[in-house]
C-alpha cells in the first residue's frame, strides 16, 4: 500500500527541497480519492490531512476531507472543514453544498435551504443546486422549522448535531 510509505515519510519529504510540494500534494490527493471510492474513509481522511499540510488553503482538499468525516458520522469535524473552506473562499460552491448537506442530514432543513440557495446564486444553472434547494424546501414544508433554524437559533452560526461522533 502506497499510503503507508508516503504518510510515514511526509515529515522528511515536506522538508526535502528536491521533492516539489505540488507533486506530493497530488500524490496524497489521488491516494485519498482512491480510498474514498472504495469506502476507506479513515484512510482517505489521513491522506487529505497530509495533502492539506502541504497546501493548507486548498479548498477542494478541505471539502473532500469534510466528505470523509461526513461518511464517518463525524459531523462537527465535517462542519469545521466546511467553515474553514468558506473562510478561505466564502463563495466556494462545493463548500456551500457540503455544509448544506451536513445541515440537511442533521435535520436543519431551513439552514440547509439557506446554504443551497447561496450555492445556487453562485451557480444559477446548476441542476444539483436547483434540486437541492427544492429538496430542502420540501423538507421545511413537511417538517416545519428545525431546532437549528434561523428563527430558532437567532443566526446561522449555530448548528444542531445529531448522532455526533467526535
Which position has the grid cell 515519510?
A: 9
Q: How confident is the model at residue 163 (pLDDT cuts 50, 70, 90)?
A: very low
Q: In angstroms, how far is CA 40 from the centroid of its own chain?
A: 16
Report how far residue 50's alpha carbon sits from residue 25's, in angstroms, rounded to the nearest whole number: 8
> pLDDT (tens digit, 9 = 90+) per residue, 71-116?
999 999 999 999 999 999 999 999 999 999 999 999 999 999 999 9
152 or 36, greater pLDDT: 36
pLDDT at position 100? 98
Q: 3-state SS of 151-164?
A: HHHCCCCCCCCCCC
Indicate the average pLDDT of the chain: 84
CA distance 32 to 46: 8
For residue 49, pLDDT beyond 70: yes
pTM attached to this predicted model = 0.78
Cα Dmax for the chain: 58
Amino acid at each position: 500500500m502506497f499510503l503507508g510509505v508516503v504518510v510515514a515519510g511526509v515529515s522528511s519529504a515536506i522538508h526535502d527541497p528536491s521533492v516539489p510540494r505540488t507533486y506530493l500534494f497530488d500524490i496524497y490527493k489521488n491516494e485519498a480519492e482512491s480510498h474514498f471510492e472504495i469506502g476507506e474513509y479513515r484512510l482517505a481522511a489521513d491522506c487529505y490531512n497530509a495533502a492539506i499540510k502541504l497546501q493548507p488553503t486548498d479548498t477542494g482538499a478541505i471539502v473532500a476531507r469534510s466528505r470523509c468525516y461526513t461518511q464517518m458520522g463525524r459531523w462537527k469535524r465535517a462542519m469545521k472543514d466546511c467553515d474553514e473552506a468558506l473562510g478561505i473562499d466564502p463563495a466556494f460552491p462545493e463548500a456551500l453544498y457540503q455544509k448544506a448537506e451536513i445541515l440537511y442530514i442533521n435535520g436543519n432543513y431551513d439552514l440547509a435551504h439557506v446554504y443551497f440557495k447561496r450555492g445556487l446564486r453562485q451557480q444559477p444553472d446548476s441542476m444539483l443546486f436547483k434540486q437541492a434547494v427544492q429538496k430542502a424546501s420540501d423538507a421545511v414544508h413537511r417538517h416545519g422549522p428545525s431546532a437549528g433554524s434561523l428563527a430558532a437559533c437567532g443566526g446561522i452560526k449555530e448548528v444542531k448535531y445529531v448522532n455526533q461522533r467526535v
